[in-house]
Amino acid sequence: MIHSLFLVNSSGDIFLEKHWKSVVSRSVCDYFFEAQERASEPENVPPVIPTPHHYLISVLRHRIYFVAVIQSEVPPLFVIEFLHRVVDTFQDYFGLCTEAAIKDNVVVVYELLEEMLDNGFPLATESNILKELIKPPTILRTVVNTITGSTNVGEQLPTGQLSVVPWRRTGVKYTNNEAYFDVVEEIDAIIDKSGSTITAEIQGVIDACVKLTGMPDLTLSFMNPRLLDDVSFHPCVRFKRWEAERILSFIPPDGNFRLLSYHVSSQNLVAIPVYVKHNITFREGSSQGRFELTLGPKQTMGKAVESVLVSSQLPRGVLNANLNASQGTYTFDPVTKLLTWDVGKINPQKLPSLKGSMSLQAGASKPDENPTIIIQFKIQQMAISGLKVNRLDMYGEKYKPFKGIKYMTKAGKFQVRT
């Protein structure tokens, strides 16, 4: 399975290596660097690179390439999924997964990698189990360890490792018992020139933060479960129950986890909460272009559209943009040709707009294509699909937990073609 792992930063240095079988020379990464050079963008590096004796499977997260060395046939997704799990774990442990964080915590990183794989086969990837084996570094613990000489490494086999609920440790205790659920929906859409929707779908997740004492057994039911077209569950959810009654029944992991992700397909009509009026023109022969953009709310059920951010990759011929924003600030990077406009909140009475001119390279011909506009936004207290949680019940424990549910809608891959 996974032979070795190399961590490569954006400037092409290997700053960490770990081998689970015999040592593979880091020169194997040369093939990776070659591919990296060939690719114009960092994302264009192919995830699977065959070399004469090994296969390199890499993922790119937080501008770090995680390059796994494989020696024989293995499902590539197996490796990719695992690498992402490693990144998630690092993020979970160190707050953010940057080169500096990894270098600072190199010992913990090594201990984690040692526990996560045995001989290249995943051993413990469940965050609850790992945290019992190796405690995440905190300032307090560092101080305590220095004084008492105790360590971050657990001595007992984590209880989860053997139980039927490996995701939950036993003996959890809280003074305030609380369970929060966030229903977050993202709209993926492509809007064409004329403003009609080409494709739109909703991807939703329910993220939970559960801090409950003991072994609570929760059930969560929806007002309209039929909406959910395709779902994937955290392993804790009892699939049979969902099949039969459309009820989520589960013993939750301790802490933060993703309970469910779902898909509301494009077959259902998706309400698009914003519209864009745009007029971007380049005239043949002139070195000037017009740029006009107006945003407005639409089908938001009275909720405000917040944190709006517009970005667009202008054509290469554009030298500079001289624009005027009615609200918020805009920036144009003349090197990458990336225009970003931080709008903020959309006020329905006074629609935000960005107008002005672009100067083009003299003598260059008119660009073929108008740029695509990418919009990000947030709408609080609303799930755009209309999904509603009906009730949350707890069994198995005596106390009364504090429960909370929050809804939010965000833009996913929301693109407007102009």
Partner 1 sequence: MSANSLSYNEQGGAESAVEVGLESTPTSSGAGAGAGAGFGLFSTDYKKNEDLREMLESTKESLKLEAMKRIVGLIARGKNASELFPAVVKNVASKNIELKKLVYVYLVRYAEEQQDLALLSISTFQRALKDPNQLIRASALRVLSSIRVPIIVPIMMLAIKEAATDLSPYVRKTAAHAIQKLYSLDADQKEQLIEVIEKLLKDKSTLVAGSVVMAFEEVCPDRIDLIHKNYRKLCNLLVDVEEWGQVVIISMLTRYARTQFISPWKEDGIFDENSEQAFYESDEEKLGTPQSKPYIMDPDHRLLLRNTKPLLQSRNTAVVMSVAQLYWHLAPKQEVGVITKSLVRLLRSHREVQYIVLQNIATMSIQQKGIFEPFMKSFYVRSTDPTHIKTLKLEILTNLANEANISTILREFQTYVKSQDKAFAAATIQAIGRCATNITDVTDTCLNGLVLLLSNRDETVVAESVVVIKKLLQTQPTQHSEIIKHMAKLFDNITVPMARASILWLIGEYCERVPKIAPDVLRKMAKTFTVEEDIVKLQTVNLAAKLYLTNSKQTKLLTQYILNLGKYDQSYDIRDRTRFIRQLIVPNEKSGALSKYARRILLASKPAPMLESTFKDRDRFQLGTLSHTINSKATGYLELSDWPTAAPDSSVRNVEVMEPVKEWVPSMGKTKPLKSDDKFYSDSGEEEGAGEEGTGSSSEDSSSSSSSSSSNEESDSESEDKNSKHSEETDSSQSDKSSGHSDKKKADKKKRLQLKKKAKKAAPKESDSEDEGRKGKAARTGGSSNSSQASGSSETSTGSDSDSSSEPDTDSDSGTDQKKNPAKPKVKGEQKPKKEISLLDLDDFSPAPVASNKSSILSPSLLSDLEGLSLSSTPPAIQVSSPVFVPMSSHELLHRMTGKGLAAQYHFPRQPCIYGNKMVSVQLTLTNSSDHTLEDISIGEKTSSGQNIHRFSSIERLEPGASVTVSMGIDFNDSTQAANFQLCTKEDQFSVSIQPVVGELFLPVTMTEQDFRKEQGKLQGMNETSATITMAPENTSNQALSKKMVSVANMGVVPTGEDSLYRFAAKSVSSGDLVLVSVDLTDSSSGRLTINTEKTVIGSMLLRDLKTALAQP
Please, are residues 354 and 178 in contact by the beta-carbon 8 Å criterion? no
Within 63-92, the residues that bind partner 1 by CB under 8 A are 70-78, 80-82, 84
Tokens 């192919």: give the residue: 46
Burial 345-355 (b: 16+ CB within 10 A, else e): ebeeeeebbbe
**C-alpha gyration radius of the chain:** 25
Shortest gap between Cβ of 119 and partner 1 (angstroms)? 5
Shortest gap between Cβ of 227 and partner 1 (angstroms)? 15
Task: Confirm or reject binding of residue 122 to partner 1 (CB under 8 A).
Answer: yes
Query: What would the x/- binding string for partner 1 be over residues 358 to 397, using CB under 8 A?
Result: -------x-xxx--x-x-----------------------
Among 34, 37, 230, 306, binds partner 1 (CB under 8 A): 230
Please tell me whether residue 38 adopts helix, strand or coil conformation.
helix
Segment interacting with partner 1 (CB under 8 A) among 113-121, 219-227, 298-306, 339-347: 113-121
Among 215, 231, 325, 392, binds partner 1 (CB under 8 A): 231
Segment interacting with partner 1 (CB under 8 A) among 12-20, 302-310, 348-356, 383-391: 12-20
Shortest gap between Cβ of 147 and partner 1 (angstroms)? 10
Distance CA 59, CA 39 (A): 14
- Would you list the DSSP string of 48-97? EEE-SS-EEEEEEETTEEEEEEE-S---HHHHHHHHHHHHHHHHHHHSS-
Helix axes 106-116, 76-94, angle to 10 degrees: 140
Please, are residues 357 and 282 in contact by the beta-carbon 8 Å criterion? no
Shortest gap between Cβ of 161 and partner 1 (angstroms)? 6
Task: Kindly state the number of chain residues that form the binding site for partner 1, as judged by CB under 8 A.
Answer: 102
Task: Confirm or reject binding of residue 413 to partner 1 (CB under 8 A).
Answer: yes
Find all residues with CB under 8 Å of 272, minimum gap 6, and list them. 187, 189, 191, 197, 200, 298, 299
Task: Confirm or reject binding of residue 263 to partner 1 (CB under 8 A).
Answer: yes
Among 12, 30, 239, 326, binds partner 1 (CB under 8 A): 239
Task: Confirm or reject binding of residue 96 to partner 1 (CB under 8 A).
Answer: no
**Closer CB to partner 1, 204 or 401, in the complex:** 204
Main-chain dihedrals φ then ψ at residue 113, nearest 5 degrees: -60, -35
Strands 353-360 and 372-380: unpaired
Task: Confirm or reject binding of residue 18 to partner 1 (CB under 8 A).
Answer: yes
Shortest gap between Cβ of 321 and partner 1 (angstroms)? 17
Closest C-alpha to 264, from 301, 225, 222: 225
Segment interacting with partner 1 (CB under 8 A) among 145-153, 171-179, 324-332, 383-391: 145-153
Within 308-327, the residues that bind partner 1 by CB under 8 A are 313, 315-316
Find all residues with CB under 8 Å of 401, minimum gap 6, and list them. 177, 178, 179, 212, 216, 394
Find all residues with CB under 8 Å of 68, minimum gap 6, and list them. 2, 3, 4, 5, 56, 57, 58, 79, 82, 83
Task: Confirm or reject binding of residue 201 to partner 1 (CB under 8 A).
Answer: yes
Shortest gap between Cβ of 298 and partner 1 (angstroms)? 21
Within 268-307, the residues that bind partner 1 by CB under 8 A are none
Cα 5 to chain centroid, rounded: 22
Dihedral angle sign, alpha carbons of residues 342, 346, 350, 353:
positive
Task: Confirm or reject binding of residue 161 to partner 1 (CB under 8 A).
Answer: yes
**Closer CB to partner 1, 81 or 182, in the complex:** 81
**Closer CB to partner 1, 146 or 349, in the complex:** 146
Among 12, 37, 50, 170, binds partner 1 (CB under 8 A): 50
Shortest gap between Cβ of 175 and partner 1 (angstroms)? 29
Task: Confirm or reject binding of residue 336 to partner 1 (CB under 8 A).
Answer: no
Please, are residues 47 and 59 in contact by the beta-carbon 8 Å criterion? yes
**Closer CB to partner 1, 177 or 415, in the complex:** 415
